[in-house]
Structure formats: C-alpha cells, structure tokens
C-alpha cells in the first residue's frame, strides 16, 4: 500500500458562448480592441440595473444536466465581496447558497478503466476584466468584465494527476459537443484551478493547497505531480502543509506560494438585491432538454458496440462532434441506399450490432476518414466541415471501394479530385478517371505501331540496353503530337516490352 493517499479536486471555469455578457447587452467577444465592449452596467456605475441573460441560464442548465446534477428550481444570485482591480464594482455577482446544480457526477475514461467523480456544484457568475502588465505599468481592459462564466466544482475524487488530466480532456470534449464553450484553454475560454491534499493512507483528507495558472491539461498533470512530491517531502520531514494558493510557473516547472487561502466566510456573500431568483418554468426546461445532445463518452460506446470499431477509430471519430455526425451520416446514406436491411441509423441508436454490409462500410469509412482523408484535408489546409466532401460523396466512394468497383489507388485519386473539383465521385470516375483509361488505349495503339516500326530498338532494350527507351518514347510522344502523359507512356511502353519478352 502506498504511504500517502492523494485527493485532487478541480474548479473549472468556462466562458459560455453567449453573444452578449451575462448581466448587460454588451458584446461578449475575445480579442476586440480594449475597452470597446463596456457599458455602465458591466462597469458597475451607481444606479444601474443588471438583468440575467436567458441564454447563459439555458447553457448553465444544459451543463448541469450533462453533469447529472440536481437542478435548482429556484436559483439565486449573490454578491461575492472582494477587491478586484479588474472589476470596478469590488464585488462579483456569483452564486453560493442556491447554485444552478448540485450533487452531480461525471464518468470518463482513464487508462485504468471508467472513473466516476462527483460534482459538488455548477454555478453561474460574471468574469472579471483583464490586467495587462506592460513594463512597470499595468493596463486594464474591461471587455471581459461581466462575460458569462460557468464554474464547475468537483469533489476531491481524483487520486492521480493523470485522472485529473483525463477528466479535463473529456470535459472539454463535452462542452464542445454541447456547443456551450469553445473549450480553448490558450485563450482562457476554459480555465482550471486544481486543489490537492495528501495524507498518510487511511487518514482522510489532508490540508488543501490550491494551484492556479493552469493553462492546459498537461500543466494540470505536471503541477499536481510537482505538488505531490513537495507535500510528501514536507510531511516526511515532519513539516506542516500550509493552506494556501500557489501558482504553477511553467518556465521553472514548479509551483510557488501566492497567498494564503480565503474561506467562503471572508467573501461575505449576500443576495444580489437587483436580481430576483430565477425559477425555471416548464418551457425553459423543455428548451434545455431539446438542446441536449448525446455526449461523447456515450456516443463512443454506442458506435463501438454497433460497428465493432477499434478503440483507436472510436476515439478518433467521437473526438469531434462534426466528425462523429459526418461518420453517422455516411452510415445512414448506406442504409438508405439499401446496403443491409434498411434499419437505418435505428441500428446504431439501440447500439445493437449493425448488419454485416453496414459494418463493412463503417469499418472502411473509419479507416479512410482517419487515414487518407485527414492527410488530403491537411495538404489543402481544409477542415472536414468546410470541405466539398459530403457524407453522401464519401459514402459512394466507400461503397465503390468495398464492393470492388474500384481499388484503393483509384479511391485515393477520386478523393483528391472530389476535394479539388467539388464534384461527385461517380461523375469524376466516369469523366476523369475512366476517360483517362480511354487515352491509355490510344497511347497503347501508338506504342504498338512504334514498336512494329522499330523492332531492333525493342530487341536492344530487351537485351538490357536501356538507351533505346528514350528513343522509343520520343517516337511515341511525336506520334501523339505531345498530348500523351510521358509517365503513362513510359509505364505502358515498359509493360509492352516486358510482355513481349
Ligand atoms: Zn456592459
């Protein structure tokens, strides 16, 4: 048994993708000119009245639903009092006693299998502005002040830093699937603080240390690993862990103390007098439920079961919602085209294994999406979502490939042509690829006549004198009036000479 036990919890902040801020009508955008999206409400002028953004509430309830929370029938906004240089009001409108959701849970995959962690609460609040340090002065940009921020607090249920990293990646995928956050950690749309306490095994929670400034899921893992070592060493040496907030310093690969931690009591929360509690009615809850989508983890398991996809392919397909939708649309096109029993996507919905013909298309589609398609899109600097490759076009390609109409080389060529010419693969096959073969027949005829006119050159080549190849090629090119493709001429010519031998 390990000497120490680790308890890690995460506090995640996500910027909701609302068009406007959470308590006023200012534009919510990243990267605009400083202090252009501001008004008396988000600057906290006296006498102004905030009003809650309905869209932000809806997205918050969606996240609460996805995290299996008990949703509040009466959610309350409160003032969290604190001195914020980047928030002119010196308080933040947040939630404390009755947040959007409580007592939830979330399941995700780790190397050791499926892990379930408990969610303490989900609450909606406003973000602060941004301080920009410029030499010995600090500039303030209030564009971000008042933008919708949803905070998700987990229980300290992670026992390793890898679990925390895996969770964060699954969580990021989930909010992207829901369309409530772009999940971009570099731009700060998804931010994470981690708390860690360690104690001798069996002794329960230790003293909690919070780590801030974690701008990627990798930093979360590294900072937690560092903290574990630091705390274990302190305890082994008979020292005491101080309850504090520390910063992760990436350049030094270590954490450093920032301040001793405030307790909730210090913030003197009290109800925001200008915002009445929000009571979701049936229509609101209906719109929340209507906006829910199948979450990535569930979708991955379903697709794996229905199409016997390998772990690698299932991860790749469900990594991105557009890609997963595309993949399933390809399968539906297959079912609609009469491949299989015509049960359509109904098969996949129930998660029962699909008929063999559909499973075959699925396997080919997964392989070709991950391999050749990614490669060809990358070469053209295209995303699947803005490429001319539609699920229907991809399906015809896969169908021709799996029923043997075309072989892999032609399929590759057709995929490229589809991307470049924005045309259906069947048309391209007729028009460009097979038409090319007719040209081949013409060239073959020319080669035959050149060879019969120059029998001694052919003999020389067959005896190993390759110099005559150039001569013969020149004759063919001349006879075709330069229209033949030299590469094709060479291939066909060599084929003929070898066959004649
Ligand atoms: Zn405003």
Ligand 1 center from residue 143 Cα (angstroms): 8
DSSP, collapsed to helix, strand or coil, labels residue 212 as: strand
DSSP, collapsed to helix, strand or coil, labels residue 195 as: strand
Ligand 1 center from residue 238 Cα (angstroms): 52
CA distance 373 to 415: 8
pTM of the model: 0.81
Do the Cβ atoms of 409 and 437 come closer than 8 Å?
no
**What's the order of all strands across the beta sheet hosting 101-110?**
70-71, 101-110, 113-126, 148-154, 4-15, 190-200, 209-214, 244-249, 254-260
Ligand 1 center from residue 42 Cα (angstroms): 4
In the chain, domain spans = 4-289, 294-390, 430-500
CA distance 193 to 185: 12
Ligand 1 center from residue 276 Cα (angstroms): 19
Burial class (CB in 10 A: 0-12, 13-18, 19+), 216: middle
CA distance 4 to 203: 9
Ligand 1 center from residue 28 Cα (angstroms): 9
CA distance 31 to 267: 31
Q: 284-297: string of b/e by CB count within 10 Å (b at 16+)?
A: eeeebeeeebebbb
- Token pair listed for 479: 């006879």
- The second-level CATH assignment, the architecture, of 430-500 is Orthogonal Bundle (1.10)
Ligand 1 center from residue 44 Cα (angstroms): 9
Do the Cβ atoms of 166 and 109 come closer than 8 Å?
yes
Ligand 1 center from residue 39 Cα (angstroms): 4
What is the pLDDT tens value at each position of the chain, 501 positions in all? 678 899 999 999 999 999 999 999 999 998 899 999 999 999 989 889 999 999 999 999 999 999 999 999 999 999 999 888 898 888 999 999 999 999 999 999 998 899 999 999 999 999 999 999 999 999 999 999 999 999 999 999 999 999 999 999 999 999 999 999 999 998 899 999 999 999 888 888 889 999 998 989 999 999 999 999 999 999 999 999 999 999 999 999 999 988 776 666 778 899 999 999 999 999 999 999 999 999 999 999 999 999 999 999 999 999 999 999 999 999 988 776 654 433 344 445 556 677 888 888 899 999 999 999 999 999 999 999 999 999 999 999 998 888 888 888 889 989 999 999 999 998 888 887 776 555 677 788 888 889 888 888 888 888 877 788 888 888 888 887 666 677 778 888 888 887 755
Ligand 1 center from residue 41 Cα (angstroms): 5
Ligand 1 center from residue 58 Cα (angstroms): 20
Ligand 1 center from residue 207 Cα (angstroms): 40
């Amino acid at each position: 048994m390990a000497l120490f036990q680790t308890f890690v919890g995460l506090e995640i902040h996500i910027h909701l993708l609302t068009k406007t801020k959470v308590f006023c009508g200012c534009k919510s955008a990243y990267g605009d000119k400083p202090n252009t999206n501001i008004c008396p409400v988000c600057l906290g002028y006296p006498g102004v009245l905030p009003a809650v953004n309905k869209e932000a509430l809806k997205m918050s309830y969606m996240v609460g639903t996805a995290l299996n929370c008990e949703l509040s029938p009466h959610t309350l906004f409160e003032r969290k009092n604190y001195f914020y240089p980047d928030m002119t009001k010196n308080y933040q409108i947040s939630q404390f006693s009755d947040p959007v959701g409580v007592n939830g849970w979330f399941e995700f995959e780790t190397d050791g299998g499926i892990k379930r962690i408990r969610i303490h609460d989900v609450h909606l609040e406003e973000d602060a502005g941004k301080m920009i340090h410029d030499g010995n002065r600090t500039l303030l940009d209030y564009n971000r002040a008042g933008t919708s921020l949803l905070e998700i607090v987990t229980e300290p249920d992670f026992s390793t830093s890898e679990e925390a990293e895996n969770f964060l990646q699954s969580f990021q995928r989930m909010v992207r699937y829901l369309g409530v956050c772009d999940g971009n950690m570099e731009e700060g749309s998804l931010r994470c603080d981690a708390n860690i306490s360690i104690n001798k095994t069996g002794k329960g929670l230790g003293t909690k240390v919070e780590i801030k400034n974690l701008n990627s899921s990798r930093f979360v893992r590294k900072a937690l690993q560092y903290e574990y070592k630091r705390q274990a060493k302190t305890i082994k040496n008979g020292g005491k862990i101080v309850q504090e907030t520390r910063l992760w310093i990436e350049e030094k690969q270590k954490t450093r103390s920032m301040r001793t931690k405030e307790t909730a009591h210090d913030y003197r929360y009290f109800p925001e007098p200008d915002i009445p509690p929000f009571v979701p009615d049936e229509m609101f809850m209906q719109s929340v439920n209507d906006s829910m989508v199948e979450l990535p983890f569930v979708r991955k398991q379903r697709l794996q079961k229905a199409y016997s996809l390998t772990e690698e392919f299932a991860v790749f397909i469900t990594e991105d919602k557009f890609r997963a939708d595309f993949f399933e649309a390809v399968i539906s096109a297959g079912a609609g085209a009469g491949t299989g029993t015509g049960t359509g996507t109904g098969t996949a919905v129930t998660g029962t294994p699909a008929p063999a013909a559909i499973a075959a298309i699925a396997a080919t589609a997964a392989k070709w999406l991950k391999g050749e398609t990614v490669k060809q899109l990358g070469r053209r600097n295209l995303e699947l979502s803005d490429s001319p490759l539609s699920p229907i076009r991809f399906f015809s390609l896969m169908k021709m490939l799996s029923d043997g109409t075309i072989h892999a080389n032609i399929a590759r060529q057709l995929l490229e042509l589809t991307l470049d010419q924005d045309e259906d693969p069947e048309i391209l096959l007729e028009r460009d690829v097979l038409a090319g073969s007719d040209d081949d027949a013409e060239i073959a005829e020319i080669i035959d006549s050149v060879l019969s006119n120059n029998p001694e050159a052919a003999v020389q080549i067959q005896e190993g004198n390759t110099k005559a190849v150039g001569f013969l090629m020149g004759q063919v090119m001349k006879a075709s009036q330069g229209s033949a493709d030299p590469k094709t001429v060479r291939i066909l010519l060599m084929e003929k000479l070898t066959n004649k031998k």
